[in-house]
Amino acid sequence: MKDSFCKIHPIAGLLYFAAVISFSMFIMNPVCLIVSLLCALTNAIQLNGRKTVFFALKFILPTALLLALINPIVNHAGVTLLGYLPWDNPLTLEAIIYGAASAVMLSSVIFWFSSFNTVMTGDKLVYLFGRIAPSLGLVLSMAFRFVPRFTEQFREVRTAQKLLGKEKNGFVEKTKTAVRVISVMLSHSLEGSIETADSMKARGYGLKGRTAYSSYRFNKRDGICLALICVFTAALIVLRVLGVAKYRYFPSVKGELMGIDSIIFYFIYFALMIMPFTVNMGEGIRWKRLQSAI
């Protein structure tokens, strides 16, 4: 069965990812960070496959570890002194914990954007912003499509260079090959941007009164998902305003992790974060029931 969450209405999808990415970035509670990372990883595996996620981990893990190591070196806030660095700057426990928390937050946000790029395709962004802000819709569509398209074309150009025998051993030769490939990619990207702009202009994109066909229809499932997203998001915002699940790292690590209010907050937070997986599981069960009834 094809992924069901990708078929969600663009309005519901945009609100969902706006909520989960915002919460992942600004709620630094350790429990919420772990929940966000696990749910983001689960959804990314379900949407993009294991190979794509493992390929992303090759870049995410080194970046996260580097952030966790750099933060205690440049950040000296905190009251729990562990010692001094070779250049006489203090090393604090709070800086180490905050660096680890920042690394988890960065990893979860990257995975959420990976899922966003899969679900919110260029057609959906143009559908949402095409009439309100045509230029913004086109720019967003091109921006989110740029990275995967650039990566695919980079592999094609590099493969062509290998087949032509221009990729040789040695630092100087490898540098020349890299410069040549980057030059080809830049030229191709600029040419593609000009062709896209001319094509959209020729089709009358952004003109007043222009109509456009849309295959997106708001159904009952979209209404339920949108209602749940709004309810969960509103509940989390209200609880945060009331001070539930707040956690600080400076000047000392302090926060209530296992209170009754915090547990309720975690449950709602988890329900929001795991929604794509839940939707797909529900559709999978429904599909199996329909098959068994045949």
Please report which residue ranges of 130-219 form alpha helices under DSSP H: 134-163, 171-202
**Shared-domain flag, residues 116 and 228:** yes
The answer on 276 and 196 residing in a single domain is no
Residue 292 to residue 140: CA distance in whole angstroms: 43
Are residues 122 and 39 part of one domain? yes
Asked if residue 5 has pLDDT above 70, the reply is yes
Condensed to tens digits (0 to 9), the pLDDT of residues 142-151 reads 776 666 777 7
CA gap 10, 13 in Å, rounded: 5
| pLDDT, position 1 | 44
Report the percentage of the chain scoring pLDDT > 90: 35
Our count of domains for the chain comes to 2
Give the pLDDT of residue 168: 65
Instruction: Tell me, yes or no, whether 215 lies in a domain.
Output: no
Decide which of 180, 205, 230 is a domain's last residue: 205
Whether 137 is in a domain gets the answer no
Same structural domain, 115 and 235: yes
Please give the Cα distance from 154 to 72 (Å, whole number): 36
pLDDT reading at 20 higher than 90 = yes
Residue 112 lies in a domain: yes
pLDDT digits (tens, 9 = 90+) for 26-49: 999 999 999 999 999 998 888 888
For the stretch 234-260, pLDDT in tens is: 999 999 999 999 999 988 899 888 889
Residue, of 168 and 133, whose pLDDT is higher:
133
Average pLDDT, the chain: 84
Q: Are residues 196 and 94 in the same domain?
A: no
Q: Is residue 138 part of a domain?
A: no
In contact, 17 and 11? CB cutoff 8 Å:
no
123 and 241 belong to one structural domain: yes
- 285 and 189, same domain (yes or no): no
Q: Which domain holds residue 194?
A: 145-205
Q: What is the pTM of this model?
A: 0.80
